Amino acid sequence: MSLLAAATEVREKAYAPYSRFKVGAALRTSAGTVYVGCNVENVAYPEGTCAEAGAIAAMVAGGETRIAEVLVIADSPEPVPPCGGCRQKIAEFAGQEVRVTLCTTDGKQKVMTVAELLPGVFTAAHMDRT
């Protein structure tokens, strides 16, 4: 299944009663598996989770850790960008060159790399003192 079809389908399952903004995310791993996630809100607002976080959690639970491609979709006037926290979450498992496709439900798309989404990413190397 294409990442666009997978993300579009899972977006319908989003639990977003507070923002009413449903988001779907799909990622393909280096092994070729597709994992999906949707946003899951909570009445205690900060406890809500993003679609990208859900897809990443599903990937790790599936025993994989290398992202080859990501796609995010929402009913947004412009292609929906991952939030700052999700950019760091994606960068944990994706190379700088990995493509992230930002989509709207009415067909607009914008392709960016992880490097473009998160310049100056914090990495494990920043904790190296020796």
> Of 9, 12, 52, 97, which one is the catalytic site residue?
52
Token representation of residue 114:
């992880």
- Least distance to ligand THU, CB of residue 53, Å: 8
Work out whether 19 is an interface residue with ligand THU (CB under 6 A): yes
Q: Pick the binder of ligand THU from 39, 56, 70, 93 (CB under 6 A).
A: 39
- Identify the burial level of 69 via C-beta atoms within 10 angstroms of its C-beta, where 0-12 means exposed, 13-18 middle and 19 or more buried: middle
Other beta carbons within 10 angstroms of residue 116's beta carbon come to 12
d(CA 77, CA 31): 33
Active site residue 9: no
Q: Which stretch binds ligand THU (CB under 6 A): 13-21, 92-100, 104-112, 118-126?
A: 13-21
d(CA 33, CA 18): 32
Q: Residues 7, 10, 23, 71: which binds ligand THU (CB under 6 A)?
A: 23
Question: Which of residues 10 and 80 has its CB atom nearest to ligand THU in the complex?
Answer: 80
> Collapsing DSSP states into helix, strand and coil, what is residue 74?
strand
Within residues 71-130, the interface with ligand THU by CB under 6 A covers: 72, 80, 82-83, 86
Radius of gyration of the chain (CA): 14
Which residues make up the interface to ligand THU (CB under 6 A)? Answer: 16, 19, 21, 23, 39, 41, 48, 50-52, 72, 80, 82-83, 86
